[in-house]
Amino acid sequence: MLAGFAPGLAEQPCNRGTAAAILFGLRHLVDLGRDATVAVFPSDHFIGNDDAFMSQVSLRHPDLKRVNRFWEKPSESVADHLFRGGCLWNSFILVASVAVLHAMFVEFASQLYCTFNAELAATIPGSDGLAVERAYRKTPTEGFSEQILSQYRSNLVVLKLENCQWSDLGEPSRVLDLIKNLKRHPR
């Protein structure tokens, strides 16, 4: 739950990738009449040492660096080369204002943005279920990183996280490896 917001859940009718998911969430924030700073956290990631991690998630962190280039899903050999050269891995943890995120959609995913707005323009917040389903039927599956971040790199900053264990658990084998390495058993 967000401070100052009524509790609620914005549930997508189907998976259309991270671009549609983020835009759908932004739509709910705009419907609430709020321009806020939002943080996007992937639901299938593991982060060890929560306190150390959260202390670093800040727009005012002194060690933020400009992004020079953005590679989305490089091959394993390219990723190894980049990482050895000092590049960082995109954990897809994102902090930005609602206004900046909207501007990114308008500039780099205008078709998606227009589809959502056209379908949801005449709806009342909370009663837009059918319009959301129509918008999702018309929406291609697109990743936010591929569609938007890779084109917006000149305005991105990055932070190298320290003292945090992080893993993308998007595949069952990664979950099993993490459990084995943590020496814990699922409950």
Predicted confidence at residue 20, as pLDDT, reads: 93
Q: Which residue has the tokens 């379908």?
A: 119
The pLDDT mean for the chain works out to 81
In a domain, 68, yes or no: yes
At 168, give phi and psi (nearest 5°): -85, 115
37 SS3 class = strand
Global pTM?
0.78
Positive or negative, the Cα torsion across 158, 168, 23, 52? negative
In a domain, 41, yes or no: yes
In a domain, 22, yes or no: yes
Q: Reply yes or no on whether the pLDDT at 5 is more than 60.
A: no
Q: Which residue type, as a one-letter code, is found at position 55? A: S
The number of domains in the chain is 1
b or e along 148-159 (b: 16 or more beta carbons within 10 Å of the residue's beta carbon)?
bbbebeeebebb
Domain encompassing residue 69: 17-45+60-162
In a domain, 77, yes or no: yes
Predicted confidence at residue 2, as pLDDT, reads: 42
In a domain, 116, yes or no: yes
Tell me the helix, strand and coil percentages in the chain, rounded to 5: 45, 10, 45
Is residue 163 within 8 A of residue 42, CB to CB? The reply is no
- Tens digits of per-residue pLDDT, 46-56? 888 888 888 87
d(CA 15, CA 130): 16
d(CA 57, CA 52): 9
In a domain, 11, yes or no: no
- Tens digits of per-residue pLDDT, 94-150? 888 888 898 999 999 999 999 888 887 766 655 667 888 888 899 889 999 888 988
Average pLDDT over residues 25-31: 77
- Determine what percent of the chain is predicted with pLDDT higher than 90: 16
Q: Hey, how many other C-beta atoms are within 10 angstroms of the C-beta on 165?
A: 14
